Structure 1
């Protein structure tokens, strides 16, 4: 019988080895106890979210005032501001983009599905940002991310989320080992290498 077969993640990103991740952090001048956040705000399909960046900057500033040792890589439209803790990267290749993401402790982003898939494949905690939540209209981006939030593989905030709440979640997903492991476990549970499953299903079809 003909049927639809879900095959998992394609491409299924292979995270770099531990030594490579350490080297990436050294290249970014991340010191021993510092946590690294990968922040991405695109100007493409999802549209540039200046408000998400502003929320992120304010939330991290709150944590730094509390003596948290944090650095963040920023990828997106050129910034007009500078922060000691913010590392702006321009013109990175797709490979370098993924290597930095895979070497980070947390991903803070808009709702882009490619970046979310990369984070899940590496079991990196994720915070997504959508324009509006379910009580508002339109709801497209909310419904796009909601299944992932329900599965426990990411957190989701909106333009109106209080900065203090964002800061608490960032802090939790950087320092609370129990919460970090909980999200990583959920990510590992739903992740499946699509290429391997596709090849196996193709073999079955060819042999039938």
Structure 2
């Protein structure tokens, strides 16, 4: 399997990945796609073969789609897996619920992704993957807003993770940061990757 496991997050400058009540409104009704250059978003989505999405993040996305049917969505066309202990009723076409061991869920997503990346979305899903040492990279869209409150980038239970900056790119009104997880899968924060 040639692709990477990438935690993908948008974040306010003060470190929140969502506002109060899981709001993904980044100010004046703007969503992530309103900040990032469409070509950059398409390039990142094109490198992605599968997504592993936490249930809470999935539910927030479903709520957003119900409230704004014309919402510009992420231009992704691969396999989608939702980490959940509750049934998706009904599960949309192309969406597979997964539960149990996080390593098995990531392995399933990696197999579906082939040579492309697996994107991990959601604070809890990302924390589980980081704790298990399964993450290769962290990609962050930093948005020009201070939310002051909401869901933090990482929970207090997320293990210390040492990162190496790989890239910093201005994209529209956002800044895209990419970091390599030092030690690589299985060795979070312990040793430099060779």
- Give TM-score, length-normalised by structure 2: 0.40
Q: Which is richer in helix?
A: 1
- Structure number with greater CO (CA < 8 Å, separation at least 6) is 2
Q: Which has the larger radius of gyration?
A: 1
Q: Which is richer in strand?
A: 2
- Give TM-score, length-normalised by structure 1: 0.38
